[in-house]
Amino acid sequence: MADFEPGSLPDLLPLYYRRVFPFGLYGRWLRYGDVSKNYFQRREFSFTLRDDIYVRYQSFNTPLELEKEIQKMCPYKIDIGAVYSHKPIQHNMVHLGAFQAQEKELVFDIDMTDYDDVRRCCSSAEICPKCWTLMTIAIRIIDRALVEDFGIKHRLWVYSGRRGVHCWVCDESVRKWSSSLRSAAVEYLSLVKGGEETIKKVTLPDNIHPFISESLNVVKRYFREYALVEQDILGSKESYEKVLALVPENILSRAYGACQRVLHILLGTLKKMAHTESEIMLQYCFPRLDMNVSKGINHLLKSPFSVHPKTGRISVPIDLKKLDEFDPFAVPTISRLCHELDTVSNDEGDAKENDGEPENSRRSRDYKKTSLAPYVKVFEQFLEEMEKSHKKERLKNTLALQKICTAALLHPSL
């Protein structure tokens, strides 16, 4: 079938939102089991409509109300914001200063354009299999740190639909973090410092922190194939001079010789200077996070299962168990999904099967019959694990409360 054409989006979105978008699971996620009164109702959503019309501070009483509004408006893009002190739709009716963002998932945004100074294959919004390895490395480094260093359990990694990845950290305690805590977390996870004018962006201390050591272990798994083969960072004078610019002069003077031999001599010398070798590896491969996206509680981020208006690809969850196999170019486009739905609709047997079934049941069957199904399954498994954990925690708290009450009854003096 034909590739996605951006001009076709207005015709495809109604079908996508009506028959494919997994609204049932989506509502389960953002309700979090209704952890507090009006929790879902106080969540901000924003819509980007046709002709770049941007609508903020949308909120809904129920997930079903959100579903109907999306199907009515057919937004080109959906963003998710914070849970506020009041319903966002009423923000103009609240006294100045009273309307405050109270909590939100800790989010991370990693964009391939931030690696333009170290990738040779592509630039700007372009990506290819050669540079996508950078996103794989970033996910492995950040996810390991979230789990092992921060003790976080519930992370949803999502492909943006074009040139990057997002992470939603959904643990209840983390959702309540202040901006300063979020900033501290991003600072901990950041190593590449400096703007375009900065040549050397990674400088390691004498005593390397365990987070950096663990990150290096990840980078080393990919570096030779990615940097020396696929990116061929020493394959031209311009590219290897960028590498040499990161080497201290006292080491460089020992390594400089004929251009044909500089790679072998340099690598042999760097092995004796572990920090320099590590600094080069990290500058070329370490994750580059957008601090502003993560630290602001009221910062909005593109919703999972949104359609990217430029590529037509769906913003899908990433299965961490198959991370090395993830292919952004294999992610279904909205045009492909609509074509698959047309095939399903033309199947007479399937039409009979659906005859008389409620709309929710038909929609569930529809997305399960498209190439979006495995990605929705990843999302569903994420939700099930999170809900199971929440139930276990609630049971633990209930039992603890029962013990306290029993002790109080047996010992009134307490």
Q: Has 114 been annotated as catalytic? A: no
SS3 307: strand
Nearest CA to 308 out of 76, 127, 12 is that of 76
Contact, 115 vs 134, CB < 8 A?
yes
Q: Which residues contact 197 (CB under 8 A, 6 or more apart)?
A: none
Alpha-carbon gap, residue 83 to 205, rounded angstroms: 40
Phi, psi at residue 272, to the nearest 5°? -85, -15
Query: Active-site residue among 79, 103, 111, 279?
Result: 111
Q: What is the dihedral of CA 176, 38, 68, 9, to 10 degrees?
A: -20
Alpha-carbon gap, residue 289 to 166, rounded angstroms: 10
Alpha-carbon gap, residue 204 to 274, rounded angstroms: 10
Alpha-carbon gap, residue 16 to 105, rounded angstroms: 26
DSSP string, 258-277: -TTTHHHHHHHHHTTSHHHH
Query: Active-site residue among 105, 109, 230, 277?
Result: 109
Alpha-carbon gap, residue 85 to 67, rounded angstroms: 23
Q: Has 350 been annotated as catalytic? A: no
Alpha-carbon gap, residue 271 to 275, rounded angstroms: 9
The tokens for 53 are 């019309």
Nearest CA to 287 out of 157, 204, 156, 186 is that of 186
Phi, psi at residue 298, to the nearest 5°? -90, 10
Phi, psi at residue 360, to the nearest 5°? -60, -40
DSSP string, 75-129: -SEEEEEEEESS-GGGGGGSPTTT--EEE--EEEEEEGGGGTTT-SS--TT---H
Alpha-carbon gap, residue 112 to 122, rounded angstroms: 9
Count of Cβ atoms closer than 10 Å to residue 138 Cβ: 24
Q: Quick one: how far is CA 187 from the chain centroid?
A: 18
Q: Has 111 been annotated as catalytic? A: yes
Residues forming the active site: 44, 109, 111
